[in-house]
Structure 1
Amino acid sequence: MLDSIIFDLDGTLWDSSDEVLKLWNEVVKKHHVSDAITKEQLEGCMGLQNKEIGQKLLPHLDEKAQEMILKECNEVECLYLAEHGAQLYQDVEKVLKALSEKYKLFIVSNCQSGYIEAFYQSHRLDKYFTDYEHPGRTGLTKGENIKLIIERNKLENSVYVGDTEGDLKGARFAGVPFVYAKYGFGQVDEYDYDYVINRFSELLDLFIDKKILSNNT
């Protein structure tokens, strides 16, 4: 019997891309290190860890410079998002409230320290979650962090909800079913995911109303 649901953050619970794009471009412009980052480029980095993001967005810089620029970007964005928040997907709090009454909820995201905390602070949603993890704290991959959450909280039957191929790979590494949030940033092959939702509220159909699909339609 399902006892827990683990969520990705970007592209699953909220969309902070507009806010992050503006802030990152301010940092990049200040350091005169790159042309302006486009939204398409930023969305292509969703779900990646900082090292991979640096290689994609700042390929002409060495690793140390990439790390320095992204560290500043991350600090600026966390301060801003903690105060102002970003765009939650429709019905997120309503659905989280209903799910939290039946299951333990968690977040595992490939983000830096302070990012999930900023999400909690700005939207006051921490009350629905039991625990969270990210590589900014552990240095681990998404799959390893999912496993860490499962082991730390003694979970027996979890699912992972995310929107990218990296989320799918993380779920497979951790040995849990994957729910594909199709409305998010990524693309996942229809033969790979276990369940699919086209909007966040469809989680209620899967896990509250018990209309759990027997196939990937």
Structure 2
Amino acid sequence: MRVNACAIFDLDGTLTDSREGIVRSLVHALEQLDRPLPNDAALERCIGPPLRQVFVDLLQSDDGELIERAITTYRQRYATVGYRENRVYEGIPEALAELQEAGLRLFIATSKPLDYARPIISEQGLGSYFEELYGASLDGTLSHKRDLLAKLIAEQHPQLSRSVMVGDRKYDIEGAREVGLPCLAVRWGFGDADELAAARPAAQCDEPVELAGTICAILGG
């Protein structure tokens, strides 16, 4: 595998199971705003999109002031407690080590703000696997996967024909396609089978133990 072959990973639902911290923080925000709570399935579907879009959908409102209040309230809990309610999926460290040994450059591109993504990666012991971490700003800049990937490509100059995005939601697949990358969809995250099939990824992966082999197969070596 050539040195400039790359695998670019989403974070939530791909490397770590972040459901508990995100859902509890969403519930906290909605309760503080005295808004009705959706069911668990609806809350889980909120894991992946940019946070502002999540609250536009949950609150059924485009009132900018209300959305900002919701985000601030969410972050009051998430920044102190929620980001720690997280665990690495079994088999992920081994898969990352195997990809490193194969000579791939590894990156993260997440819609989560860097202020939260960096401590998560550090506390979960994943930092040594990745060359760089790309994430959103707290003001929402770079919260769309297309923009994150465009920035990564401009700065890191990966060989696109030897690079792949890895994620669990349609946002990963669509964002990768917009910048000319194939996407491997993982099926242990938060995107259901219908969503992933409709988004048309390059391939799908059922378990982390299959991850390194599937990535290498997509990249042709």
Aligned to 1:189: 197
* Structure 1 length-normalised TM: 0.85
Q: Classify 1:49/1:191 alpha carbon distance in 2 versus 1 (closer, same or farther; 3 Å).
A: closer
Q: Which runs of 4+ in 1 moved over 3 A?
A: 210-214
What is the rounded CA distance, in whole Å, between the counterparts of 2:44 and 2:107 in structure 1?
23
Match of 2:67 in 1: 66
Determine whether 1:177 maps to 2:182: yes
Deviation at 1:33, TM superposition (A): 2.6
Q: Which amino acid aligns with 1:100?
A: Q
> Partner amino acid for 1:134?
G
1:60 offset after TM fit, Å?
A: 5.0
| Structure 2 counterpart of 1:182, one-letter code | R
Cα deviation code 1:74-110 (max 9, x no counterpart): 342133255x341321211111122123211111111
What is the CA distance between 1:36 and its match in structure 2?
A: 2.8
1:147–1:174 CA contact under 8 A, matched in 2: yes
- 1:35 matched residue in structure 2: 36
1:65 to 1:136, Cα distance in 2 relative to 1, 3 A: same
**Structure 1 position 27, deviation (Å):** 3.5
Alignment of 1:18-29 (within 5 A): 18-29=20-31
Give the deviation of 1:194 after TM superposition: 0.9
Query: Residue 134 of structure 1 aligns to a residue in which SS?
Result: strand
Aligned residues: 210
1:137-165 residue CA offsets vs partner (Å, 9 max, x unmatched): 67132112112112211211310001111
Counterpart Cα distance in 2 of 1:195 and 1:47 = 19
CA gap of 1:57–1:46, structure 2 versus 1, over 3 A, is same
Normalised to the residue count of structure 2, the TM-score between the two structures is 0.84
How far has the Cα of 1:213 moved from its partner?
9.3
Correspondence for 1:202 among 192, 197, 210: 210
Compared CA separation, residues 80 and 100, structure 1 to 2 (3 A): farther
Task: Establish whether residue 11 from structure 1 lines up as the match of residue 13 from structure 2.
Answer: yes
Quick check: 1:87 aligned with 2:92? no
One-letter amino acid matched to 2:46: C
Return the offset for 1:212. 4.6
Tell me if the contact between 2:114 and 2:134 (Cα under 8 Å) persists in the aligned partners: no
**Partner of 1:99 in structure 2?**
99
1:167 partnered with 2:175: no
Q: What percent of counterpart residues are identical?
A: 24
Who is 2:50 aligned against? Answer: 49
Q: 2:153 aligns with which of 129, 141, 150?
A: 150
Q: CA deviation at 1:52?
A: 0.9
Change (3 A) 1:191 1:71: closer
Please say if residues 106 and 129 of structure 2, whose CA atoms lie closer than 8 Å, have aligned partners that are also in contact. yes
**Alpha-carbon distance between aligned partners in 1 of 2:108 and 2:58, rounded to the nearest angstrom:** 26
Which string of whole-angstrom CA distances, capped at 9 and with x for unpartnered residues, describes residues 41-96 of structure 1?
222222211221111112257221122221331342133255x3413212111111
Structure 1: gaps (5+ residues): none
CA contact (8 A) 1:178 1:193 kept: yes
Deviations 1:6-60 (A, max 9, x none): 011111111111222223323432x243123432122222221122111111225
Q: State the Cα distance separating 1:121 from its structure 2 match.
A: 2.6
The alignment yields a C-alpha RMSD, in angstroms, of 2.4
Distance 1:203 1:56, change over 3 A: same
Q: Secondary structure at the match of 2:7?
A: strand
* Cα distance in 1, alignment partners of residues 168 and 97 from structure 2: 21
